[in-house]
């Protein structure tokens, strides 16, 4: 896609994902054992042929930038392919990015110095697999000024999304930003809405015009709140419905909260997960350190019940399950599960060691935490709330490098 320039917005604070975003940008949060969230839109770009990519960073970006430097130096500059990281620079004044639209406006120089006709704008914090070529072909066929990626979601989730109203041809006729009531439902399906995926393809000239106009106004400088509503009715704005090969809503998750993040990870350990990590035709790329193979330990003859066992789980390289039991959980690299442990329905991140006889369930343990012997996490939420973060749905989150006292 030589006529497409891509921007991935990776500068949000991710406050609702705290404490996982206490020390890192939201797109740098680990996901699915070996990945970071930003690996999903980046892999989509590479697989789609969109290989001129600017990543806009701002808050706590060191972990993100290190991951990109170590794992994503894969393109050939001689072929005009690149992944550039552009930190917030106050290029147009003394303010940092004021909104999603402002983040692009402050980097218009990166567009003006190029010649691409189409500007693809993506969020860096969503989990999905999508061929952007189909989106761009749709945009061209409709002779659109702006095309927005949408996916069908249950009506009761409308308050979490920008809600698109469109006609039978896909032309957008209305937009509601996270409505609490009165959300417009999808055509011929009153139980569902069209949710904006935060994926936009603009014609270059139109993008420059609407951003320049918006910069002169008092606004949130946001695509959903300001740019899109003004363009509807005045420009050719279309919705691209993201579906799978059977015409059903494709898998897409905005993991903006702890509960949404936890549930999306748990989707991966289902018997037949909706998000397939094993499709060789659409590989998910990431950076992985050099760890040895997974090891399990069973010494039943020496110590009764000491069985290293993993059931319906994702286990990354470098992990040792030394006589403990892991069920429906995700272990990132270099995790050690010691004897007689019980880990269930949990996400255990890199470098965690779980002491003997410890019990963990319905929890997220961030990097480099040492779980003491006989500790229990997720079994008494009132006690857990005194020491850790507990989400609305009862997911216990132990922050990175936390010292735990039993």
Q: Is residue 404 part of a domain?
A: no
Residues 57 and 204 occupy one common structural domain:
yes
Which of 250, 267, 284 is at the close of a domain? 267
Residues 335 and 263 occupy one common structural domain:
no
Residues 254 and 334 occupy one common structural domain:
no
Mean pLDDT, range 317-339, rounded to an integer: 95
Compute the distance between CA of residue 197 and CA of residue 250 in angstroms, rounded to an integer: 11
Residue 69: predicted pLDDT: 94
Residues 243 and 299 occupy one common structural domain:
no
Residues 112 and 243 occupy one common structural domain:
yes
Mean pLDDT, range 210-224, rounded to an integer: 87
Domain that holds residue 109: 4-267
**Is there a contact between 129 and 251 (Cβ–Cβ < 8 Å)?**
yes
Residues 50 and 191 occupy one common structural domain:
yes
Altogether, the residues listed in the chain come to a count of 406
Which of 222, 249, 267 is at the close of a domain? 267
Compute the distance between CA of residue 348 and CA of residue 338 in angstroms, rounded to an integer: 13
Q: Tell me the per-residue pLDDT of 370-390, one tens digit each, with 9 for 90 and over.
A: 999 999 999 999 999 999 999
Q: Is residue 405 part of a domain?
A: no
Q: Is residue 327 part of a domain?
A: yes
Cis status, amide bond into 19, omega within 30 of 0? yes
Structure tokens at 343: 């880990």
Residues 151 and 212 occupy one common structural domain:
yes
Residues 81 and 214 occupy one common structural domain:
yes
Q: Is the pLDDT at 327 greater than 90, yes or no?
A: yes
Q: What percent of the chain has pLDDT over 70?
A: 96
Which of 249, 267, 285 is at the close of a domain? 267
Which positions make up the binding site for alpha-D-glucose 1-phosphate? Answer: 97, 162, 177-178, 196
Could you tell me the pLDDT band of residue 171, with boundaries at 50, 70 and 90? very high
Domain with residue 317: its CATH number is 2.160.10.10
Q: Which of 318, 324, 319 is nearest to 306 (CA)?
A: 324
Q: Is the pLDDT at 101 greater than 80, yes or no?
A: yes
Residues 259 and 324 occupy one common structural domain:
no
Q: Is residue 287 part of a domain?
A: no
pTM: 0.93
Mean pLDDT, range 38-64, rounded to an integer: 94
Which positions make up the binding site? Answer: 97, 162, 177-178, 196
Q: Is residue 236 part of a domain?
A: yes
Mean pLDDT, range 279-283, rounded to an integer: 92
Residue 12: predicted pLDDT: 74
- Helices (H), ranges, 200-351: 204-215, 228-231, 258-267
Mean pLDDT, range 353-373, rounded to an integer: 97
Q: Is residue 148 part of a domain?
A: yes
Lowest mean pLDDT segment, chosen from 8-17, 120-129, 297-306, 363-372: 297-306
Domain with residue 174: its CATH number is 3.90.550.10
Cα dihedral 317/323/326/332 (nearest 10) = -20
Q: What percent of the chain has pLDDT over 90?
A: 76
Residues 364 and 253 occupy one common structural domain:
no
Residues 144 and 55 occupy one common structural domain:
yes
Could you tell me the pLDDT band of residue 188, with boundaries at 50, 70 and 90? confident
Instruction: Look at the chain and report how many structural domains it folds into.
Output: 2
Residue 222 vs residues 11, 120, 149: alpha-carbon distances, Å: 14, 16, 16
Q: Is residue 54 part of a domain?
A: yes
Residue 94: predicted pLDDT: 61
Average pLDDT, the chain: 92
Mean pLDDT, range 189-210, rounded to an integer: 95
Q: Is the pLDDT at 138 greater than 70, yes or no?
A: yes
Mean pLDDT, range 309-320, rounded to an integer: 96
Residues 259 and 299 occupy one common structural domain:
no
Q: Is residue 278 part of a domain?
A: no
């Amino acid at each position: 896609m030589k006529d497409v320039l891509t921007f991935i917005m990776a500068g949000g604070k991710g406050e609702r994902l705290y404490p996982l975003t206490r020390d890192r940008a939201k797109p740098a949060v680990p996901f699915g054992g070996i990945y970071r969230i930003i690996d999903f839109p980046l892999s989509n770009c590479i697989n789609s042929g969109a290989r001129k990519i600017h990543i806009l960073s701002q808050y706590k970006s060191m972990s993100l930038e290190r991951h990109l430097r170590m794992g994503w130096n894969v393109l050939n500059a001689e072929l005009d392919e690149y992944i550039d990281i552009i930190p917030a620079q106050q290029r147009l004044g003394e303010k940092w990015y004021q909104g999603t639209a402002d983040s692009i406006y402050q980097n218009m120089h990166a567009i003006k110095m190029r010649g691409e006709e189409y500007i693809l704008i993506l969020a860096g914090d969503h989990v999905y697999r999508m061929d952007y070529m189909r989106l761009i072909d749709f945009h061209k066929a409709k002779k659109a000024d702006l095309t927005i990626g949408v996916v069908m979601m249950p009506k009761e989730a409308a308050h979490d999304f920008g809600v698109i109203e469109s006609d039978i041809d896909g032309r957008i006729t209305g937009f509601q930003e996270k409505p609490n009531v009165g959300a417009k439902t999808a055509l011929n399906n009153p139980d569902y809405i069209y949710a904006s995926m935060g994926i936009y393809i603009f014609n270059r000239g139109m993008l420059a015009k609407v951003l320049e106009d918006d910069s002169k106004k008092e606004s949130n400088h946001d695509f959903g709140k300001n740019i899109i509503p003004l363009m509807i009715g005045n420009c050719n704005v279309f919705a691209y419905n993201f579906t799978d090969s059977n015409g059903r809503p494709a898998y897409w998750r905005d993991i903006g909260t702890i509960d949404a993040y936890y549930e999306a990870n748990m989707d991966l350990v289902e018997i037949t997960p909706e998000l397939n990590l094993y499709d060789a035709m659409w590989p998910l790329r990431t950076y992985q350190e050099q760890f040895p193979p997974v090891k399990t330990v069973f010494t039943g003859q020496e110590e009764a019940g000491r069985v290293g066992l993993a059931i319906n789980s994702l286990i990354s390289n470098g992990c040792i399950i030394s006589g403990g039991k892991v069920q429906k959980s995700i272990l990132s690299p270099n995790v050690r599960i010691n004897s007689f442990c019980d880990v269930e329905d949990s996400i255990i991140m890199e470098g965690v060691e779980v002491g003997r006889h410890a019990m963990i369930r319905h929890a997220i343990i961030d990097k480099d935490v040492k779980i003491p012997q006989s500790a229990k996490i997720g079994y008494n939420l009132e006690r857990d709330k005194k020491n850790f973060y507990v989400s609305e749905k009862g997911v216990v989150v132990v922050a990175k490098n936390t010292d735990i006292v039993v």
